[in-house]
Structures are given as C-alpha cells and as structure tokens.
C-alpha cells in the first residue's frame, strides 16, 4: 500500500507547516547566550530589528516593526504571558518575505515557534551556502552539532519534507522542553541517538522516509531509551533501512502510545509477544517488512485499536481469535502473508470494520456468515487468492440502485458508509465490460497516488480483486461530496441540502479560485506534473461549504519527470481528450450581462435588478472573468496565460469583488 494513500497519512501531514524550520540557520552560526543584556527588552528588540534588516516583504508586514510601539505589539510577534518582554513566537507565514535570515535571531533564547512558511526565496547560508527557499520549499544541509544547546526552550522541531542530510546531532538531548520531533521525508542517515530518551516531555517522534538504520541490539537502543518518555504518543519510523529483529523493549514504550508505525523497512524475526502491553494504541502498522511467526494472541488486548496493518510480511499460523476483542477496528490489512486455517468467527464482533483485506494468504474453509453481519459497514472485502470453499454470498458485491450517485463512461458511483455510519463515502465501481476499464483504472490510480491537495477529491482507498463470479472487480473509495457536482448547480434546478437553489457570484468566485488552485498544483506543484484532461462541471464536486474539489482522473496524464512534456507509461488516447467546450464570440465586454446567468447578480448583494451600483460592480467582475477566460483560450498555446499567472489573476478578481461587498 502506498504510504500516500493511507488515511492516516492525512493526519501526519497536518503538522507539516515547517514550524521552527528557519531557526536552524541561526543556530549553525551563533550560540545563543542568554546574558542579562541580550535577554532583556533591548536585546529582543535588537534581534528583531536585525532580522528585519535582512528581509524584505511584499505585503509590508514589517512596516509596523518600528520603535514607536513596543516590539511585542509588532505584527507577527507574540510575547509571553508571564514574562511579557520575552519573544516566544514569530508567525510571518504567507507574507511574501525574501532575503536572508539574520544570525541574531539565535539570541531569542525563549523562542518556541517560528513560522516563515510559504514565502519567497530566503537564503540559509549557515545550513546550505548554495541553497535557498525555492518554490519547492526544500532546504538542505546538516543539522548543527550544537543544535540542542542553542535554543533549549523549543517545544516543536518540525523540519519534515526537506533535503537535510547527515546524522542527528547528539546534542538534541538538551532540548528538555521538546514535545514534537519530526524529521520526516529527508535524507538523514546513521543510527538514531539513544540520548533522545532523555527528552521526558517528548510526545511525537517521526523519522519516516529517511535512511536511518539499525541492525543489532545496540543500534536499536533508541527504542529502549524511549521507555523513559511517559508522555510518548506517536512513533513512526517507516520507509528507512532498519533491519534485524524488533527489540522486546518496543512493547514497553508507553501505555499512552497511540501510533506505532514501522512500515517498509527490512525488519525480520517475530513480533514481540507482549505488544498487547501498548494498551493505548490506535494505529499499528508493521506492513512491508520480513516479519515472521504467528500474530501474537496479546494483540487482542489493544482494545483502542482502529487500524491494524500487517500486510506483505511472512506471518504464518492462524488469525488469533482474540482479534474479535478489537471492537473499534475499522481497517484490517493482512494480505500478502501465509496465514492459514479458517477465518475466526470472532471477526463478526468487529462492528465497525469497513476494509478487511486478507487476500493472498493460505486461508481455508468457508467465508464465515458472521462477516455478512457486517454488511452495513463493509466497503471492500478482500478475500481473493486463498483456499476458501463454498459459494461467496451475493451480498458481498451487491450495490443498490438506491445508492447510485452517478454513472459515467467507465462505471457507477455509489454512496456508502464507513465506520459505523460515521463516515459517508463515494465508491466508484468500474464497469468490467468497458474496453477502457483497465486503462482508466490504471490512469486514475497513477494520478491519485501522486497528488494531495485541499481542492482535489480525497481518495480513501482502492480495491482490485475478484468477485463471486470470478470476474475482475475494480473500485475506488473517495470522500463524499454532499453537494454533488457543479454541473447540477449550474445546469439544472438542483436544490442543495440547505435549500439553496442557485449559486451566488461570491460562491462561484470561490469555486473558480478552488479550481485554479487545484490546476496550478497539478501543473506546477507536482513532480512530475499531472494533466487532468477532462475538466468540466460534472467532474467538479462541491463539499458542504460549496467549495470545489476536482475529481475523476480517469484519462489524466502524468508527465515525464525529466522533460515534463511526455506522459509516463501513458495510457492516453490519440486525438482530442476530454470534453469539447464553446466560447461565445463577440460578447465581450459590453454585453457580458446579457450572456451571464441572471442568478449570478440577482442573489449576491442586490435587493433588486435595478441596483445600479451592484450591477456595475458585477459587470466589471464578469468582464474581468471573461477576459481571463479568453487569455487562457488563445489559439496558439504560446499565447495563453500560464497556469500560475491565471491563478494569481483569478485570486485578484475574487478579492477585488469581495472588497466591494464589505
């Protein structure tokens, strides 16, 4: 299973805002000295003024940073509640900052949070002389050896998704207040320091997607050291180079541990028999390793468990009957092992189970009727490639017409429910009779596994299996969009759940902004770029807030990373792709109101259609939109507006209109 397709990864990415990232530059060049002079009022103000001197701001946010007011009232600056002169946080995100980080910021010894994410090019000479804060927002270099001694008040060190290299400095053990340690998705190497176990306030420890290694008891020592961290909640070390046997100390880390994720390493041997001691676990992921032996019976003690992933290992023996104690479990992944004997009847106790995946094992016997008792929650049942006997109940793949949300060229979309009716989803079942089934399914999976953006429909999981008739079964499970497609709102008399029957201009502008944001991400924010190829109102879905989410990547193209021009393993069709649109000639700009939907201007701020001021404002807005559309539709591609420029222009049009509605 691709790490990006797991629902739990959506939670992991929330904290990835690059908090405290830029503190590292200061620490590499200057040791903070908390003397009376530098920690006083004047010292803090001098540090901030030095910071301002090397930074420019397109938004003018730093204009308030002058001596006419206290530095604690400067925009983006937060001072402490108890010691009101101490700077504890700087938040200057999304301000168009550029320049170089001054080493003087290292003298802000009580700084707990620095957020400079989503700005322009910011040089970090202390970390990587040739590196800058580029469009990809990636930074490089080694962490300073004295990192832990410079700013002892740091509570969160989150530097995930960058290009940092080298080993973790042992001085990290001096960060006595540290609660979150996240170095996910970098190029760190070496052994994880055991000194980290001295951080007794540590709650989150994320090392995913690096090159850390451990192969013996000494190198695995950091696990034993973490047993000292009584507040520990999340441990994720997947996609590294850990090998050898799991230490028995893993079962004693903390009863408060909620996440234990070690997927896709080369870990072998048996699972610690006392893993059931981790009573607070909600997510347990051992997938993609070389683990062998039986699944411990003690796993039944993990009564808080919601997700259990054991797939692609060498587990053998029976599925323990104690698994029936995990009544909160809603995802069970154990495919790709050598599990034997019948499926335990106790699996019927898992009333919230939605995605059981037991395919590619050596299971025997009949499919328990108890599984059929879970039909109200089951979204996908994976039992293929086993040695099961008897007829598979028809209920397994029965989809009611009453739940149909829509039908398309390649299949039908149904409404479903996950997690005991707490999560509503949309299940896209592909039509196995259609000759383009496999191309469409492969293209959609290829595109969706590469993307994640707030304006794209979120995929929850996928299914590729065999139904009871021995036929191929392909399905994708997406988040449910309560307001259905944009097409229903603008081309019919559709009425939303709240009784609204027409979209206002404000809502349409928000939707347009969401669409261009998504396209800008697909074209410029993805590596390699993804081309949707079939963008139209029926493929744009609206959530409960009437914000747009782009879906249906069935004929999308993923461009080659080296050239960004040629499709990767393309299954694209020759000729025109997608739907053909139409641009009305000669209607711009004087007659724009005549071709526009009257609902646009009747429902957005005007008491009646004679409100001259509102009509003038609306006309200007629609004219600007039309001009933007024409610029994006020039006959020659070289004459068209770039996607990034079109996105900026769309934001400007929306913001200008909103400013007139205040």
Residue carrying the six token digits 């340690």? 181
* Those residues with Cβ within 8 angstroms of residue 267's Cβ, 6 or more apart along the chain or in another chain: 242, 243, 244, 245, 246, 286, 289, 290, 291
SS3 478: strand
Separation CA 293–CA 70 (nearest Å): 65
Question: 3-state DSSP call for residue 125?
Answer: coil
Q: What does the block give as tokens for 540?
A: 């744009």
- Contact call for residues 148 and 175 (beta carbons, < 8 A): yes
* Alpha carbon distances (Å) from 82 to 75, 85, 86, 461: 20, 9, 9, 48
Q: 407 labelled as ligand-binding?
A: no
CA 297 from centroid of its chain's CA atoms: 33
Rounded Cα–Cα distance for residues 336 and 288 (Å): 9
39: its two tokens: 């920690």
Q: How many helices (H) does the chain have, and how many strands (E)? A: 14, 35
Residues 315 and 337: beta-carbon distance below 8 Å: yes
Give the C-alpha separation, 588 to 487, whole Å: 24
Helix segments in 318-436, DSSP class H: 369-372
Strands (E), 20-148: 55-57, 77-79, 87-91, 97-100, 113-115, 122-123, 140-142
Nearest to 66 by CA among 84, 89, 49, 86: 49
Please answer whether residues 245 and 269 qualify as being in contact, where contact means their C-beta atoms are separated by less than 8 angstroms: yes
How far is residue 144 CA from its own chain's centroid?
A: 29
- Answer for the pair 179, 169: CB distance below 8 angstroms, yes or no: no
- Return binding residues for ATP: 428
């Amino acid at each position: 299973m691709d790490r990006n397709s797991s629902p739990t990864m959506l939670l992991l990415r929330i904290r990835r805002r690059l908090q405290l990232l830029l503190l590292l530059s200061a620490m590499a060049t200057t040791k903070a000295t908390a003397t009376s002079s530098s920690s006083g009022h004047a010292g803090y103000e001098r540090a901030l003024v030095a910071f301002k001197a090397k930074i420019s701001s397109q938004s003018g946010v730093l204009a308030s940073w002058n001596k006419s007011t206290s530095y604690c009232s400067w925009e983006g600056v937060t001072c402490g509640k108890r010691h009101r002169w101490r700077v504890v946080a700087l938040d200057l995100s999304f301000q168009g900052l550029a320049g170089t980080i001054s080493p003087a910021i290292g003298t802000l010894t009580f700084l707990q949070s620095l957020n400079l994410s989503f700005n322009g090019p910011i040089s970090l000479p202390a970390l990587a002389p040739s590196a800058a804060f580029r469009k990809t927002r990636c930074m490089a270099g080694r962490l300073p050896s004295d990192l832990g001694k410079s700013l002892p008040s740091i509570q969160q060190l989150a530097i995930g998704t960058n290009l940092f290299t080298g080993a973790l400095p042992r001085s990290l053990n001096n960060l006595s207040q540290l609660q979150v340690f996240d170095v996910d998705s970098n190029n760190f190497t070496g052994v994880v320091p055991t000194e980290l176990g001295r951080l007794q306030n540590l709650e989150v420890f994320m090392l995913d997607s690096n090159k850390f290694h451990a192969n013996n008891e000494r190198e695995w020592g950091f696990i034993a050291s973490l047993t000292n961290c009584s507040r520990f909640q999340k441990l994720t070390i997947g996609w590294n180079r850990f090998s050898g046997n799991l230490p028995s100390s893993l079962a004693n880390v903390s009863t408060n541990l909620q996440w234990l994720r070690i997927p896709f390493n080369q870990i072998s041997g048996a699972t610690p028999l006392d893993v059931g001691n981790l009573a607070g676990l909600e997510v347990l992921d051992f997938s993609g390793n070389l683990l062998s032996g039986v699944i411990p019976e003690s796993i039944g003690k993990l009564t808080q468990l919601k997700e259990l992933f054991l797939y692609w290992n060498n587990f053998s023996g029976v599925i323990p009957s104690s698994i029936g104690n995990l009544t909160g479990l809603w995802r069970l992944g154990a495919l790709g092992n050598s599990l034997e004997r019948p499926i335990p009847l106790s699996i019927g106790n898992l009333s919230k189970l939605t995605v059981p995946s037991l395919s590619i094992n050596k299971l025997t016997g009949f499919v328990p009727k108890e599984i059929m008792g879970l039909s109200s929650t089951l979204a996908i049942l994976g039992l293929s490639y086993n040695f099961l006997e008897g007829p598979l109940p028809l209920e397994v793949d029965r989809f009611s017409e009453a739940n149909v949300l829509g039908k398309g060229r390649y299949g039908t979309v149904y409404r479903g429910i996950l997690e005991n009716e707490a999560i509503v989803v949309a299940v896209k079942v592909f039509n196995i009779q259609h000759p383009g089934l496999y191309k469409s399914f492969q293209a959609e999976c290829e595109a969706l596994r590469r993307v994640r953006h707030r304006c794209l429909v979120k995929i929850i999981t996928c299914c590729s299996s065999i139904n009871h008739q021995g036929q191929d079964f392909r399905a994708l499970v997406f988040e449910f969009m309560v307001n259905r497609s944009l097409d229903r709102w603008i081309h019919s008399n559709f009425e939303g759940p709240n009784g609204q029957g027409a979209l206002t201009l404000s809502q349409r502008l928000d939707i347009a902004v969401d669409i261009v944001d998504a396209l800008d991400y697909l074209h410029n924010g993805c590596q390699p770029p993804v081309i949707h190829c079939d963008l139209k109102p029926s493929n744009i879905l609206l959530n409960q807030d009437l914000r747009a989410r782009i879906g249906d990547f069935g004929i999308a193209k993923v461009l080659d990373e080296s050239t960004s021009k040629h499709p990767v393993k393309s299954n694209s069709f020759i000729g025109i792709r997608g739907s053909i649109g139409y641009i009305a000639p000669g209607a711009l700009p004087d007659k724009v109101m005549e071709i526009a939907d009257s609902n646009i201007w009747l429902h957005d701020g005007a008491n009646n259609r004679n409100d001259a001021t509102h009509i003038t404002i609306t006309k200007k807005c629609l004219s600007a939109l039309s001009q933007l559309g024409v610029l994006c539709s020039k006959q020659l591609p070289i004459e068209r507006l770039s996607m990034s420029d079109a996105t900026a222009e769309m934001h400007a049009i929306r913001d200008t209109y909103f400013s007139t509605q205040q």
